[in-house]
Amino acid sequence: MKRRHLLTLAAAGSMALLCGLMSPASAADKVTVGVFPISSSLPYFVAIEKGYFKELNIEPETIKLMGGPPNVAALMTNQIEVSAVLVTLEGLNANVKKQGVAMYIAMHSQTATWKMEQFVVREGLVDKVKSLKDFKGLKLMSAPGPANLNTAKGILARVGLKDGDYTIDQLDMGQHVNAMKAGTFDGGYTLEPSATIMHKIGAAKTLEAGVIAKYILGSPDADAFAAGCAFTSD
């Protein structure tokens, strides 16, 4: 009796498998992805171009969101399911407000060699500004979001510059290159690829990279895992 029952189950399983193989392909899983268009987001676009999502029957819908706060807000309100690049401090703050809203599955490291966040100086001030201390009295810009702004201020504090020694304003990443080219700011805390573009067109030069590792983590060789890809736990 027991043997007959097992044979019946095996036959049923084989039939189900055969029917599954003969049925038409199922619809692709649609996933809404918030993308902050900086160099850290490049793997996402490479995956699309290479057809990796298509191979897994996943159809990503890309929504451009400029910075951490818009990505966090979209995750919390279920407007997106994935943030391709979310600053870790922003993710931690989001999880305090709504537990499980940002679950990281990949982390991006940065160092002085593998550059992301960095301080740049306008081309016309290169001879005057030789170190971060020389930003005293100057007008600076910052990548958007409280995490970027406070990190920039924290790094400057480590070299002895306090609030009032300089001015610093958040600026949309899409405006960084043109702002430096126009001389609107003397320097600032920017991200890739903006820094490389500034250098290529002669608008600014990198003053120092790997600043999170050196000034926040205390070692220029440290891996600063400052951002990554996060899913909502839903």
pLDDT tens for 4-26 read 443 333 334 433 333 444 445 67
Domains and their CATH numbers in the chain:
26-109+226-231 (3.40.190.10), 118-209 (3.40.190.10)
- Span of 1-10, 124-133, 156-165 with lowest mean pLDDT: 1-10
Contacts of 18 (CB under 8 A, 6+ apart): none
CA–CA separation, 155 and 216 (whole Å): 7
- Average pLDDT over every residue of 146-170: 95
Residue 15 has a pLDDT of 37
SS3 per-residue string spanning 133-177: HHHCCCEEEECCCHHHHHHHHHHHHHCCCCCCCCEEEECCHHHHH
Measured distance CA(195)–CA(144) in Å, rounded:
15
Distance separating alpha carbons of residues 100 and 109, to the nearest angstrom:
23
Cα 10 versus chain centre, distance: 49
Tokens matching residue 40: 């850290």
232 and 74 in contact (C-beta within 8 Å)? no
The predicted model gives 95-99 an average pLDDT of 88
What's residue 25's pLDDT?
60
Q: Is the pTM of this model over 0.85?
A: no
pLDDT in tens, 26-56: 788 999 999 988 888 889 999 999 999 999 9
Task: Report helix, strand or coil for 51.
Answer: coil
